[in-house]
Amino acid sequence: MPHPVPIETQYWELPRPIRTVAVIGAGASGVSHKVSSADCQLPIARRLRDAGKQVRLYERNSYPGGIWKYQEAKAATPQLPALDPSQVDYQPDLDPVYPSVSKTVFRGQDADAQVNAMAMSFAPPGPSYVTLKNNIPSPLMCFQGMSRDAEKPEEWYYPHSAHQAYLEAYAALHDIDSVASYNTRVEKVDEVENGWRVWSKTFNTTRDADSTTVTITYSVDDYDAVVCATGHHNAPATPDIPGLAEWQAQWPDRLSHALTFRRGEDWKGCRNVLVVGSGPSGSDMAREISVYADNVYVTARPFETDDSPDTKIVKAVFRDRLASTCTIVPTVKRFLPPCGSVGKVEMLDGSVIEVDSVLFATGYYHSYPFLRDYQARRTSESTKIVQSQYTVLNLHQDLFYIPDPTLCLLGVPANISAFSFFEYQGIEVTRVWSNQAQLPSIPAMQRAYAARRGAVSDRNIHVYGKVEEPKLVREIASWLNSEAKRLGVQGQVEQLSGYSDEYMAVKARTVEGLGVRDAADDVRLAKAKQAFAADLAAA
Ligand SMILES: Cc1cc2nc3c(=O)[nH]c(=O)nc-3n(C[C@H](O)[C@H](O)[C@H](O)COP(=O)(O)OP(=O)(O)OC[C@H]3O[C@@H](n4cnc5c(N)ncnc54)[C@H](O)[C@@H]3O)c2cc1C
Ligand SMILES: NC(=O)c1ccc[n+]([C@@H]2O[C@H](COP(=O)([O-])OP(=O)(O)OC[C@H]3O[C@@H](n4cnc5c(N)ncnc54)[C@H](OP(=O)(O)O)[C@@H]3O)[C@@H](O)[C@H]2O)c1
């Protein structure tokens, strides 16, 4: 069901002119939004800059790019099951006095290890893995003014490093560094009188011959508006399956999550591997592991009743690609109590399989630890933000926080072409915050939101797909155009038309492209399997 923009004569009024904006996160969504302060081709950016808005971009890593940056290091496996979205990614550090600066000097042979551990818990490594490539055509993964044209599906797929390079080049072109605070994590965001307060923590290290000094700067800054662009692949989701905690206590090394997957070789010598989840991560990783393990089981659940035909096709594609190398099984009923050295898992159909390693490819929670007071169970139904793994609450157009639309959560939708869609969201935010479009009144947004929640399951509320996504983009474009006309600013802003015909033609070939991508992978995996078999024979 689309997000209708309610026809209203009452509008939400900006409570103050938006002059200062905090953007949290320098991934594809934060970067695209943040170009607002640079001299670039985006009308959104020029308008914000020309209006004198000051943007500060907070990024906990030392670079832009978000999930696309490959890191060999892995995040720690969370306590399983990991249930509270606000707890899994990181624990906000709110005990110290804000503002303040603390310095700690580390010496001796453990110094590097101690400092690395602090750095890893400050900015945990992301989900990129050695063989990760894009799974939607690269011509759909670009921002305005920096296209990635390629005609044939054979040319659409690149390794993660190419996407990271694209994002870094984009950031350099638009001088993102001039407004970025890298190595700076946001610990808390809260409403204050006339705006938003942001508590942040900057982590810096300096080394000399015999010591390393860690300097932590705790800062507090106020803004007129805040954009959360922190992505939704930071907090690994693991289901609450009976027996899981006992397995983690007994065999911590046998359990992992897709967030920490780096390469199939890490499963060399395993007999039976169970991958829970057959989405993009599960199906990709199971195929990589199947080169090195004797048996790989992958769980698949029945489709949701309100999965769109498009969603069903995509889910089926990811399952089908497993057929030649893995065994599809129903999902897990319980982990049988550890006994001896062999782990046993009972499946929903009553069958029991022996398993010596389990990889949870069960997705990620939407998680905003810095908005902890707004997370589920902390506040009322109409103000809380995160409901479950799949649902961010109280958003208009999946973007504006309805109780106070000077807060935006950018990048929430799934099954979309992230880069281009997030850029459209950025245009929308900029126009609203520049008084070039007005949102409907809060009661009208609440009514539209209630209608949508009533019509779509929590699982699918942010899931779009190749029909719904362009439709929403067209609706946003036409609404922004009509608002510009109504407010008499159409001469100052670009007329928007939604995705181009060329873009849509590539989008229509997404599933065909996946087939081409998989065929290339099949050849690579078959070669790796042969090489591994030859190594085993020689050993
Ligand atoms: C394994 C994987 C593969 C994917 N493949 C594709 C694909 O092929 N095509 C596609 O279109 N999409 C793909 N996606 C979706 C992907 O999420 C988007 O492409 C896009 O890169 C997301 O950008 P983002 O900015 O929303 O989030 P992210 O890339 O996650 O960036 C968020 C940034 O916020 C920072 N951050 C988080 N919390 C804080 C804080 N408290 N303070 C400061 N900084 C913070 C993080 O360090 C990070 O840099 C994939 C996702 C995953 C996980
Ligand atoms: N470029 C690439 O090749 C690539 C690789 C990996 C990931 N990605 C992207 O990263 C994002 C996340 O993908 P993801 O695969 O990690 O997560 P995901 O898309 O959320 O998929 C999670 C999978 O786990 C299953 N699952 C969830 N909870 C479960 C439970 N309690 N019991 C059993 N199964 C459960 C889901 O089943 P249901 O479908 O039944 O809910 C689904 O198969 C997506 O945007 C994806 O496109 C891209």
Q: Once rounded to an integer, what is the mean pLDDT over residues 433-447?
A: 95
Nearest ligand to the CA of 25 is: 1
Note whether 57 and 203 are same-domain residues: yes
Beta bridge partners of 24: 58, 228
In the block, residue with structure tokens 């510009």: 484
The span from the CA of 102 to the CA of 112, in Å, is: 19
Going by C-alpha positions, the residue among 261, 91, 277, 105 that lies closest to residue 187 is 91
pLDDT recorded at residue 104: 96
Model confidence at 377, pLDDT cuts 50, 70, 90, reads: low
Note whether 263 and 225 are same-domain residues: no
pLDDT recorded at residue 297: 97
Take atom 18 of ligand 1 and give the residue whose Cα is closest.
Answer: 418
- Domain end (from 362, 397, 429): 362
Beta bridge partners of 215: 103, 204
Is 301 among the domain residues?
A: yes
Residue 242 scores a pLDDT above 70: yes
Structure tokens at 442: 């809060």
138 lines ligand 2 (CB under 6 A): no
- Domain end (from 303, 337, 362): 362
Residue 287 sits in a domain whose CATH number is: 3.50.50.60
pLDDT recorded at residue 258: 97
Tens-digit pLDDT profile for residues 35-74: 333 333 322 333 455 456 688 899 999 999 999 999 999 9
281 lines ligand 2 (CB under 6 A): yes
Note whether 215 and 265 are same-domain residues: no
269: left (phi over 0), alpha (psi -120 to 50) or beta: left
What is each CA distance from 113 to 92, 124, 203, 253, 447, in whole angstroms?
Answer: 22, 15, 16, 21, 53
Is 6 among the domain residues?
A: no
Pocket test for ligand 2, best of 262, 301, 419 (most atoms within 8 A of CB): 301
With 0-12 CB in 10 A as exposed, 13-18 as middle and 19+ as buried, what is 306?
Answer: middle
The span from the CA of 68 to the CA of 233, in Å, is: 11
Domain containing residue 303: 238-362
Note whether 73 and 203 are same-domain residues: yes
Structure tokens at 510: 């997404």
pLDDT recorded at residue 9: 62
Take atom 30 of ligand 2 and give the residue whose Cα is closest.
Answer: 239
Residue 345 host element (H or E): strand 343-347
- Segment among 291-295, 328-332, 381-385 with least mean pLDDT: 381-385
Pocket test for ligand 1, best of 199, 230, 365, 409 (most atoms within 8 A of CB): 230
Q: How would you classify the pairing of strands 211-223 and 343-347?
A: unpaired
Is 245 among the domain residues?
A: yes
Write down how long the chain is: 539
Model confidence at 29, pLDDT cuts 50, 70, 90, reads: low
Note whether 63 and 156 are same-domain residues: yes
pLDDT above 70 coverage of the chain, percent: 93
How high is the mean pLDDT of the chain?
Answer: 89
- Spell out which residues line ligand 1, taking CB within 6 angstroms: 24-30, 58-61, 66-68, 123, 127, 132, 134-136, 141, 185-186, 229-231, 233-234, 370, 411, 417-418
Packing angle, helices 309-320 and 510-538, rounded to 10: 20
Pocket test for ligand 1, best of 233, 263, 499 (most atoms within 8 A of CB): 233
Is 208 among the domain residues?
A: yes
> Do 35 and 427 meet the contact criterion of CB atoms below 8 Å apart?
no
Note whether 158 and 209 are same-domain residues: yes
Q: How far is the CA of 126 from the centre of ligand 1 (A)?
A: 9
* List of residues 6+ apart from 301 with CB closer than 8 A: 330, 331
Buried b / exposed e across 500-533, counting CB within 10 Å, b at 16+?
eeebeebbebbeebbebbbeebeeebeebeeeee
> Do 20 and 219 meet the contact criterion of CB atoms below 8 Å apart?
no
For the chain, what is the domain count? 3
Note whether 215 and 354 are same-domain residues: no
Note whether 310 and 443 are same-domain residues: no
Model confidence at 178, pLDDT cuts 50, 70, 90, reads: confident
Tens-digit pLDDT profile for residues 187-210: 999 999 999 999 999 999 999 989
Query: Pick the residue with more confidence: 9 or 143?
Result: 143
Is 136 among the domain residues?
A: yes
> Do 56 and 229 meet the contact criterion of CB atoms below 8 Å apart?
no
Is 48 among the domain residues?
A: yes
Nearest ligand 1 atom to alpha carbon 410: 26
Is 14 among the domain residues?
A: no
Going by C-alpha positions, the residue among 114, 96, 97 that lies closest to residue 105 is 114
The span from the CA of 95 to the CA of 93, in Å, is: 6
Note whether 458 and 350 are same-domain residues: no
Residue 334 scores a pLDDT above 80: yes
- Domain end (from 330, 362, 394): 362
Note whether 57 and 100 are same-domain residues: yes
Tens-digit pLDDT profile for residues 110-167: 999 999 999 999 999 999 999 999 999 999 998 877 888 788 999 999 999 999 999 8
- Segment among 78-92, 267-281, 282-296 with least mean pLDDT: 78-92
Tens-digit pLDDT profile for residues 466-508: 889 999 999 999 999 999 999 999 888 889 989 999 999 999 9
Packing angle, helices 309-320 and 280-290, rounded to 10: 10
pLDDT recorded at residue 35: 30
In the block, residue with structure tokens 């390079």: 165
pLDDT recorded at residue 8: 55
Note whether 415 and 455 are same-domain residues: yes
Note whether 127 and 39 are same-domain residues: yes
Is 297 among the domain residues?
A: yes
